Every structure is written in structure tokens, then in C-alpha cells.
């Protein structure tokens, strides 16, 4: 916080400025420098703000620091100005994330009709690596689902098909729940949940096809009909993928 006017009546050596970090707790101050028109302090604390995880695992999160003056109590007597040299330190790193754009602004915030405060906000974006997220989350579940679809190419032997699909389905559910542990509990569907719906639909199609073929084999012992059912269900798979993508991601 700096005041450049030589004739300004404010003298920080006589009265320190009071300000509040709106979205922080356990704030600690250190390395304080005080001059008549300069008050510099290093701040450490736990900051929080709303985050949206709809695009998980490709989400972009906004990290914010919000500051308001405590005294004076009216915006007519308090001013917050952005220094042109203000910026986010280039050495800032968030493990496992990539840092993106940043924005620094000052705007009026009204708690009611009479209480208005200038609020300083510094925001910067962190996001996951697209390639890293694909390899870590999307590729494993897609590979498991792809393996389950091999039942359409296994000869007329139902036992190996059952042994192939059942463990893979359990593994798919396990990976789904494990991936969601990487984000806080949310009450809405993420992009990853939508991808998993497509995978579950493919599994249901594969298992349903297997059940129909087994019933036809036991009831009619018609190997030709069993093969026809297998071929028809196999050709439905691409349609399920396309329709799933359109319905889930198009809404």
C-alpha cells in the first residue's frame, strides 16, 4: 500500500492502515516495512473461494485473493489503486497444475445500500495438463472398456467371456471412484462422470448381448442365430458411442 502525494496528510508511521483479507483465515504478517507513505508487508494464510469442477479432469480453477480496507469506513475516504507494476510472480508453481492467465482489479463491493467498499482482487488460473489428464484418467477407463468389447470376437465359448467382463467391470467402477477422490465431493456430474456413463453403457451392451446369446444357445442350440446376435450387437457399439457423446456433451 503506497501513497505518492507529498502533501497527503496520511502518515503510516503514525497510524497503520487496516485492511481485511475477505477470503482468508489464519493470516500471518511478516517482513513489515513502514514509511510515511509506504506500508509493505508479506502475508501468509489459507485462502479459499468457489471452484467449479464440471470439466474435471480438464477443469480450470481460479485462485483469488480479495482485500478490503477496514478504516476509513466509507469509500469516499478510502482508495485502492492498482500499481502498473503489479503482477503474479513467475516463479509461482502449483504441483500437478499449470499456471495460466492472471487478472488484477479494483471494484466497488456493496454489502448494502450504505456500506460500500473498494475491493482489491488478484486472480490467477491453474489448470491440469490436457495430455496428463487424458493419460491418467481417460485412457485407462477407455482401455478397460475396449478390452471388454473383445467378447464380441471370442469364439462361441461363454465361460471366457464371463471371466473377461466381470472383473473388468469391477475394475472400471474402482477407477471411477478413485478418480473422484481427487476432487471435493460435488452434487453435480463432472465431465469424467459423463465419460463413465458412456463406458458403463458399453459394458451393459456387452453383458446384455452375452446374456441374450447364452439364452438363445441354451433354448434353441442354434449356433447360427447366436452368431447373428453377436454380429448385430457388435455393430451397435459405434452407434452407442456417437449417441452417447451427442446426448451427454451436447446438453
pLDDT at 112 over 90: no
Q: Distance between CA atoms of 175 and 172, rounded to whole angstroms?
A: 5
Rounded Cα–Cα distance for residues 243 and 245 (Å): 5
Fold type of domain 130-249: Methane Monooxygenase Hydroxylase; Chain G, domain 1 (1.20.58)
CATH of 18-127, one of 3.40.50.1240, 3.30.750.210, 2.70.170.10, 3.20.20.20: 2.70.170.10
Mean pLDDT calculated for residue range 74-85: 58
Q: How confident is the model at residue 177 (pLDDT cuts 50, 70, 90)?
A: very high
Mean pLDDT of the chain: 82
**Radius of gyration, CA atoms only, the chain:** 29
141-144-150 Cα angle (round to 5) = 145
Tell me the domain boundaries of the chain.
Answer: 18-127, 130-249
> What pTM does this model have?
0.77
Amino acid at each position: 500500500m503506497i501513497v505518492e502525494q507529498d502533501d497527503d496528510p496520511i502518515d503510516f508511521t503514525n497510524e497503520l492502515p487496516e485492511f481485511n483479507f475477505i477470503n482468508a483465515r489464519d493470516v500471518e504478517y511478516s517482513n513489515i516495512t513502514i514509511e510515511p507513505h509506504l506500508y509493505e508487508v508479506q502475508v501468509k494464510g489459507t485462502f479459499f473461494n468457489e471452484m467449479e469442477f464440471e470439466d474435471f479432469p480438464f477443469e480450470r480453477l481460479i485462485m483469488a485473493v480479495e482485500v478490503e480496507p477496514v478504516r476509513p469506513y466509507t469509500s469516499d475516504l478510502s482508495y485502492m489503486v492498482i500499481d502498473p507494476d503489479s503482477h503474479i510472480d513467475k516463479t509461482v508453481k502449483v504441483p500437478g497444475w499449470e499456471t495460466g492467465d492472471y487478472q488484477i482489479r479494483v471494484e466497488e463491493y456493496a454489502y448494502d445500500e450504505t456500506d460500500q467498499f473498494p475491493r482489491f482482487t488478484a486472480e490467477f488460473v491453474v489448470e491440469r495438463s490436457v495430455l496428463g489428464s487424458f493419460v491418467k484418467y481417460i485412457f485407462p477407463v477407455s482401455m478397460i472398456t475396449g478390452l471388454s468389447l473383445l467378447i464380441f470376437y471370442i469364439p462361441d465359448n461363454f465361460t471366457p467371456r464371463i471371466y473377461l467382463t466381470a472383473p473388468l467391470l469391477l475394475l472400471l467402477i474402482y477407477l471411477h471412484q478413485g478418480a473422484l477422490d481427487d476432487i471435493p465431493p460435488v452434487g453435480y456430474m463432472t465431465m469424467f462422470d459423463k465419460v463413465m456413463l458412456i463406458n458403463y453403457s458399453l459394458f451393459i451392451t456387452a453383458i446384455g448381448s452375452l446374456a441374450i446369446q447364452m439364452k438363445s444357445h441354451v433354448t434353441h442350440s442354434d449356433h447360427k442365430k447366436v452368431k447373428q446376435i453377436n454380429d448385430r450387437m457388435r455393430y451397435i457399439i459405434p452407434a452407442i458411442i456417437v449417441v452417447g457423446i451427442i446426448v451427454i456433451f451436447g446438453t
